[in-house]
Amino acid sequence: MEPNLKFFLKDTIRKMVDFPNTPQSRGMAPPPLQKPVAAGTATIPLVSPRDWTTIGGMSVKDAIAARKSRRAFTAEAFSLEELSFLLWATQGLRRPPAEQYAYRNVPSAGCRHALETYLAVFRVEGLARGLYRYLPLDHALAAVANPEHLEGEVNHAAFNQGFVARGAVTFFWTTIPARMEWRYGDASYKVIALDAGHVCQNLYLACEVVGAGTCAVAAYDQEEADAFLGLDGEDEFTVYLAPVGKV
């Protein structure tokens, strides 16, 4: 018998979770709010919101009205300030983090924020081509890898949907489920998926502000995407991606 996959969309599982026995309820320390950076990893500071000079003042109404999926991009590069804005809009912090919580610019179940952001950078002023990870607690980038065939690997990871590697940057969102499981146990997985939707919608709206576009992509080769990002596919794995480029 095929499993009832519709179960994932329901919240029935919440009635089945032994919440008094979750890691949080047992007094265990939560996982780190941000994936640690390996010793010796090069990091690049991003432009702080207080230092932005080129980010426009489009109204929320206009951004929502203009929002649509865009798959055609120009060859124009992003500025580091524009990329900083997109990252701040999607996973940036609203205030300094506390011991167990980091309030960001997107909602997350229980403020657990079980997502990480990786970037395949093709054309960003001041950044070398390559693979990076966003560090929201530092508002910085960590260098991850410098694949020789960057466009080809991104394209291959997305079932050869060519537009995914034609923008200036391709966003990859991964999840570290343990962050959510600490509080919600087996009720974690639906809300992780919902959180990814919140993040991507903010990316759509932020793109409109800087004359760019994006297209959410949920069809990708799980194993290829995880291998490209250097993930184990179990404790951390890919859940969503979106190319971004000027239009």
Residue 56 pLDDT: 85
CB 82 within 8 A of CB 206: no
Nearest residue to 222 via CA among 179, 164, 158, 178: 158
Amino acid present at 188? S
What backbone torsions phi and psi does residue 154 show, to the nearest 5 degrees? -65, -45
Question: Locate tokens 């020789």: which residue?
Answer: 148
* Block mean pLDDT (10 aa), the chain, length 247: 83 94 96 94 95 92 96 98 98 89 94 97 97 97 96 98 97 98 96 98 98 98 98 98 98
Nearest residue to 170 via CA among 107, 135, 136, 216: 216
Residue 1 pLDDT: 53
User: pLDDT of 190-226, one tens digit each?
Assistant: 999 999 999 999 999 999 999 999 999 999 999 999 9
Q: Does any domain span residue 4?
A: no
Range of the domain at 205: 41-246
Q: Does any domain span residue 1?
A: no
Q: Does any domain span residue 90?
A: yes
Query: What's the domain count of the chain?
Result: 1
Q: Whole-prediction pTM value? A: 0.96
Q: Does any domain span residue 6?
A: no
* Rg, the chain, Cα only: 18
User: pLDDT of 77-109, one tens digit each?
Assistant: 999 999 999 999 999 999 888 878 899 999 999
Q: Does any domain span residue 31?
A: no
Above pLDDT 90, what percent of the chain?
93
> Which tokens is 92 given?
């940036």
Q: Does any domain span residue 209?
A: yes
Q: Does any domain span residue 30?
A: no
Element containing residue 116 per DSSP (H, E): strand 115-121
Residue 2 pLDDT: 67
CB 133 within 8 A of CB 228: no
CB 191 within 8 A of CB 11: no
Residue 188 pLDDT: 97
Q: What are the helix (H) ranges across 46-177?
A: 60-66, 80-91, 150-157
Nearest residue to 131 via CA among 115, 116, 149, 150: 150
CATH of the domain at 184: 3.40.109.10
Cα separation, 99 vs 32, whole angstroms: 9
Residue 57 pLDDT: 86
Q: Does any domain span residue 57?
A: yes
Cα separation, 118 vs 135, whole angstroms: 10
Residue 97 pLDDT: 86
